[in-house]
Structure 1
C-alpha cells in the first residue's frame, strides 16, 4: 500500500463546487463571511476553554509527540505554532480547534497508548489537514463552512442548506483522511487509526478491513452520517484515492451523495434537478403528440424561456442507479402533468411518458400511478400501453 509518489492533497470536487455556488449565487453573504475576522477576545476565550477543560502537554515533557507533529506540519506544508492537549475522556479521538495562525490539537482517550507511532502520525495528519484546508486559498473553504453554519443557525433554514452542509462536512473528513495518509506516506496507518478509534482495539489489520468493507459494495451503501462518513466508506474512499482509481469521483458521488433524490436535494442538486426537469420535458416534447399549442404553452409555464432547440435527456442520465424512487415518482408526475395539457392528445402523451419511464426502470410505478392518480382500471391501462408491447415484441 506504499507508493513512491504520494498523491497531491487537494480540496475535493464538492468543496470547489460549493465555494463556486456560494460566490456566484450568494455574493453578498459570501462577502459578509469573508469580512468576518476572529476577534482577539474570541481567541482568548478559545484558549481559556482549552485550558479549563484539558491537560496541556508541554513540549519539554513530551518531545516525541511534538517532534512528530512538526514533521507532519512540514509534510503538509503548514506553518503555525502548535499546542497539544489531553482531554479527560475515555473515547479515542482527536480534534482541531481552529484559530487562524494557531493550531490547538486535543487528544481524547488513550490514543497515545493505543496508537503506534506511525498511526499517531496519521492521526496528526488527519487533524492538521483540517487546518490546511481551512487556511489555503485565502481561507475560502473555511468561509464556506462559516456561511453554511450561519445559515443553519436560523430556524427557517431550508433542507437544501442542511444537506449541503452535511455533504460538505463529509467531504472535509475525506480530505482529512487523505492528509493522514500523506503524513504517514501510506494508507494502512490511516485506516488502522480509523478502526482503532472506532473499536478501541490495540491491533488492526488495515488490509483485512478493506476486504471487509468491499463485501458491502454489493448493497450499494450510501453515507448516512451527519458529520462523518461511516468508517468502512472512509477506508474505501482513501484506498481508491491513494491508488488513483479512475472511478473515484463516480464512486464518491454514489456512496457519499447517493442517487439524485428530489427528497434530499442540496443546493447543487437543486440546479441538477432543474436541468433534468428541463431535459426530460425536452424529451417528451419530441413526441409527435406534443406538437400542439396546448403542450407548447404548458412548457412555457414551466420555463418561460423555453425554446425549440432544447436538449433532450440522455437515457444514461436516467439509469436506475442515478435516481431514486422519489425522483422516479416526480418524473411520472411531470409526464402526467404535460399529458393533461391537451385532452385530445392525452393518451399519446401518456404513452410517451411510459416510454420514457422504461429508461429509468419506472414502468411498473408508471402503471401504478395510472391506476392511483388517473383512476384507470387494468383493462384501460393495458389498452393505453399496448403500443409499448408492440415495440418490445
Structure 2
C-alpha cells in the first residue's frame, strides 16, 4: 500500500459529476435555470437547526475539545472555512452524515463512532463529511443543483428508471469524491481505509494493507459493476481510493467500469439514453446502407422512429457497439430493431432478413437472432438453414 505524500493531490469533482452537470445544462436548460435560481430560505435553515436540536444531542466544543480540534484540522486541510457543529444521534449503528446548510457545517454522528476511531481516523471521517459540503459549493453550486434536480425528478410521479439510475451513479461518484477528501484530511490512505472497515464491520483493529490486498484480489477478477444504490461497496471504495492516491493514469476508466458498467438496456442513465439513441440512429443508417434493403417502406420506418432522418445519416458500425461494451440486452434490442424493419415490406423481406442475419454475425448475436426469427418471423428449421447458407455464400463470395 502506497503512503506517499498528499501534497501532489487535490480533490476535484469526478468525470461523471462534470458530465452530468453538462448534460442537464444542455438538455434540460429550463429545469436547470429554475433549480439554479432556488435559494435556501432562512426559514428552511432555521427548520434544519431546530430539527437537529430536537432529535440529537449537540456536542459543545468546550466539552469535546479534541473532537472539535480534529474537525477544524480536517476543514483546514480541505480549505473550508465555516462555523461547524457536531451532533450525536440515537442510533446503535456507527455512521456519520452531513446536513447541508450553506455557510454552516452540521455533522451528525451515530453509534459509538467517536469512541471507536483513532485520531487519524477521525480526520478521515470528518474530511469525508466536510467533502459533501465542499462539493455542493463548488462551481457556483452546480453539483448541488444537479443533485436536487435528480432527487426531485425521482420523487415525481412520472419518474423513470433512467432517473433512478442517474441518481444512483451520481451518489456513488459523490462518495468516491468524499473518500478522497477523507484521505487528504488524514493525509493517509490507511486511515481512510481503516475508517471504512471499522464503520462497516465494527472490528477494533483492522489492517488497512490487508484489506487493500483483499480489494485488489477481488478487482483482479474484473467482476460486475457495483450493485450499490447510495454508497459503493467498501472493497470498491478502498481500491478506488488507493488507485487515486497512487496516481493511476486509467483511474477514470476503472471508476466508470465499476460504477457504471457496460450499456445495459434496462439500466441506462440519462446520458447513456442519449448515447444509445444516437448509436441506434447510426446503426439504422448502417443497416439501410446496403442497396438490397434501401427501399422506401424501410426508409419510412426509419423516418417514423426519427422524424428528422436524413438520407446521408452517418453510420455506426457493429464494431462501435463492441467498443462501447454493450451487454446482451442491447444486442437483443438491435436484433429486434432489424427484424422489425425486415418484416415491414413483403417485397424486400427476404433481402432484409439476409441483411439482418449478416449484421447479427458482425454483432456476434446470431444465436439470439435465431430465437427471434423462430418466434417473430415464424421461420422453421428449413428456412433458418436456407438463410444461413445464403449468408455463408455471400461471405464466401
In which range does the TM-score fall when normalised by the shorter chain? Answer: over 0.9
Q: Which SS does the other structure have where 1:94 is aligned?
A: strand
CA contact (8 A) 1:287 1:349 kept: no
Distance (Å, rounded) in 1 between the aligned partners of 2:346 and 2:213: 57
Aligned residue for 1:370? 373
Alignment of 1:32-181 (within 5 A): 32-181=34-183
Deviation at 1:387, TM superposition (A): 4.2
Aligned residue for 2:9? 7
Distance (Å, rounded) in 1 between the aligned partners of 2:173 and 2:244: 13
Aligned residue for 2:305? 302
How many residue pairs get matched? 393
Pick the aligned partner of 1:384 from 383, 387, 395.
387
Distance (Å, rounded) in 2 between the aligned partners of 1:155 and 1:297: 34
- Mean Cα displacement is larger for which, 341-350 or 158-167? 341-350
Alpha carbons of 1:179 and 1:314: their partners in 2 closer, same or farther (altered >3 Å)?
farther
Q: Deviations over 1:30-67 (max 9, x none)?
A: 22212222222221221121122222222122222212
Aligned residue for 1:328? 331
The alignment's C-alpha RMSD in Å is: 2.1
Aligned residue for 2:255? 252
Aligned residue for 1:347? 350
Alignment of 1:178-327 (within 5 A): 178-217=180-219, 218=221, 220-319=223-322, 322-327=325-330
Distance (Å, rounded) in 1 between the aligned partners of 2:222 and 2:266: 21
Q: Which SS does the other structure have where 1:56 is aligned?
A: strand
Q: Which SS does the other structure have where 1:319 is aligned?
A: helix
CA contact (8 A) 2:56 2:90 kept: yes
Normalised to the residue count of structure 2, the TM-score between the two structures is 0.92
What 5-or-longer segments of structure 2 have no aligned partner? Answer: none
Distance (Å, rounded) in 2 between the aligned partners of 1:360 and 1:187: 43
CA contact (8 A) 2:20 2:271 kept: yes
Deviation at 1:10, TM superposition (A): 0.8
Alpha carbons of 1:135 and 1:350: their partners in 2 closer, same or farther (altered >3 Å)?
same
Distance (Å, rounded) in 1 between the aligned partners of 2:135 and 2:385: 58
Alpha carbons of 1:314 and 1:116: their partners in 2 closer, same or farther (altered >3 Å)?
farther
Deviation at 1:111, TM superposition (A): 1.5
Alpha carbons of 1:90 and 1:359: their partners in 2 closer, same or farther (altered >3 Å)?
farther
Alpha carbons of 1:294 and 1:216: their partners in 2 closer, same or farther (altered >3 Å)?
same
Alpha carbons of 1:125 and 1:367: their partners in 2 closer, same or farther (altered >3 Å)?
same
Q: Which SS does the other structure have where 1:215 is aligned?
A: helix
Normalised to the residue count of structure 1, the TM-score between the two structures is 0.93
What 5-or-longer segments of structure 1 have no aligned partner? Answer: none
